[in-house]
Each structure stands twice: as C-alpha cells, then as structure tokens.
Amino acid sequence: MAGFTVGSLTTYVRENADKIYTAAILGATTLKYPGISIQAGIKNADKLMLFANTAPIQVGGVCSFNASGSSTFTDVTLTVSPLKWNDTFCPETLENKYTSTKLVAGSNYDTMPFEQLIMDNVMANLNASAEKYTWQGDTNLGVQDLKQVDGWLKKIDAGSPILATATAAITANNVIGIFDDVYKKIPAELLNAPGKDMVAFCGWDTFRLLIIALKDLNAFNYTAGDSANTGTITLPGSGLKVVATHGLNVLSGSLASYGQRIVCTYPANLFVGTDLISDMEEAKAWYSQDDANIKMSIKWKIGYQIAYTTEVITYKNT
C-alpha cells in the first residue's frame, strides 16, 4: 500500500537524482566494504573472465626448447535483475492535520515540505533491504525483500566451496572452535597471498556470540576494544579479520541453511553487477496532473556472483 510521509520529494530528487540513485544500489553496508568487485554497465548479463596459469620449471643447461604449462581462460555469468521502488503522495490528505501549515497557499499542491526527511528514510529502508538480499536473496523464497534476486549465499552453495565442520547451531560455547576451524580450512596458498586478504563475514548475531566467548575465555588478557560497535575484530592468534553484517543475520522467511552462516574469502572474489549508466535507471519524482498526486520512482538493476567458489570457506549448521 502506498504510504505518505510529510515531505517534498520533487525538488530534492530532481537536484540529487544521481546521488540518490547510486546510494539506493550500493548503499548496503557490505557493498561499501573495501575491495568488493563492482561490475557496472550490465544491461542483462555479462561474463566474468577468469584466468589461471601454471609455469612448471624445467632442467636447464641443454640446447632444447620444450613448451610446458598452461594459460586457461574460463568465465562465469553475472546476471542482473531489474528492481524498482514506487510511492504516491497525496498532499490533500494533509489539509486537516497540523502539517497543513507546511502546504503552499491555494488548493493546487505540486510540491511538499520535508523532502529530505522522506528521502533519508527511503534510502535507509532500501539499503537495509539491499543488505539482506546481497547475502540471502533467493528467487525461490516468498519474502518481499529476499525474493527479487539471487544473492551470494545461493551462488556459493551452487558452487564448490570448502565446508567447515558443521554442528547443530552456533553457540557461545562452540563459536570460537567454529571460527578456528574456518581458519584452518583456508588453503595455505591463500594465506598472505597478494590481493587476497581473507575476511570472515558473519551475522551480527554470530559476531556477538564470538565477542562474548572471547571475553569469557580470557577476561584479563583480551579486550575487544570497540569491536562491539564497529563489527570488526581480528581473531586472536590467527590474524583473520572477522566482519559482522546484518545481511547474514538469521532472517525471518529465509532458508534455514542461510542462518548463522560464516563466509570466508577475499573481498575481490565477491562480485556485484549493476548498470548505473542507463537512462532507464534513475531516481525521479513528479507532480501528476491527472490525479493530483506527487509520485516517486527509483529503478535499478542488481546481480551477484562469485568468481571462484573454490576459494570460499563457508560454515553452515547441520
């Protein structure tokens, strides 16, 4: 159902359309994380070109030339889904409220006050939804925020990730052991590899259990500092960075296998596809003379892919 919040969208959106549009697409907390791969200019689908090389060393000191090794190109498809947000605002519904003092004189209302208040709240809600579907989006679900696009967890589970040892659920008693197991499962060649700084992403619910467990394990020699507020901590003794994200919280209506997940990989392995440059994608608001309403529309395209699922270590409950 269309909602109404006292505010003037027309001028604000017209003057800040590009800023609002970009924030609607890439404003989720996870997508702001340094190193996440953003692929722009995708209208429908694009190929991510992957390259692998081997260079075997041979015995020298002889007059011969023997070609060896391989240089192999492969690809995975990154498909984007068209999404939109629409709302309608009828200024006349404000006439018998205290908000009528903010209406222009006369009976024709083609603008409204409080436009920035409305847009700030719209963007906050769209970003919260984007954070959820970035990780747990699944077109087989029935939840409005999650069913629009397939997120990273679905892509990971469809590939060949490295699985950490599963248990019934993550608790304060086993959470440290689970993160230790995730760290131990990282292939040795990825440790300290250039451009592949490993990060373990988890939900804030799981992150809180980790903070509590670390505190209780060694209350005198360990401090979490400001981790409870920043959502980032280095796993003691490993150097592995753990990052909390609301997109990996246990979400109502999501798959049980998506709850309490831990995903460990390097950020550049996580791809986001969008358009950003299309005339069909924009944020706008306008006064509609046919029904005397002010209408707002934001349209965008978004999609997710993993370059190498074999370089993802993931934990999920049994």
Kindly write down the DSSP assignment for every residue of the chain, as one continuous string: -----S--HHHHHHHHHHHHHHHHHH-STGGGSTT-EEE---SSEEEEEEEEEE------SSS------EEEEEEEEEE-EEEEEEEEE-GGGGTTSGGGGGSPSSS--S--S-HHHHHHHHHHHHHHHHHHHHHH--TTS--TTTTTS--HHHHHHHS-PEEPPP-S---TTTHHHHHHHHHHHS-GGGTT-TT---EEEEEHHHHHHHHHHHHHH-TTT---TTHHHH-EEEPTTT--EEEEEGGGS--TTS-GGGTT-EEEE-GGGEEEEE-SS-TT--EEEEEETTTTEEEEEEEEEEEEEES-GGG-EEE---
For 256-282, what is each residue's pLDDT tens digit? 999 999 999 999 999 999 987 665 556
In a domain, 58, yes or no: no
pLDDT above 90: percentage of residues in the chain: 50
Q: Is the pTM of this model over 0.75?
A: yes
For 58-95, what is each residue's pLDDT tens digit? 888 888 888 887 777 778 899 999 999 898 877 666 55
The pLDDT assigned to 58 comes to 83
In a domain, 38, yes or no: yes
pLDDT at 126 over 80: yes
Assign 102 a pLDDT band (cuts: 50, 70, 90). low
The pLDDT assigned to 10 comes to 43
- 162 against 47, higher pLDDT: 162
- How many domains does the chain contain in total? 1
Query: The CATH number of the domain where 198 resides is what?
Result: 3.90.1690
- 292 against 6, higher pLDDT: 292
- 308 against 43, higher pLDDT: 308
Range of the domain at 118: 9-49+69-315
pLDDT above 70: percentage of residues in the chain: 80
Assign 1 a pLDDT band (cuts: 50, 70, 90). very low
In a domain, 201, yes or no: yes
pLDDT at 17 over 90: no
Average pLDDT, the chain: 84
In a domain, 2, yes or no: no
Least confident of 8-22, 157-171, 204-218: 8-22
In a domain, 62, yes or no: no
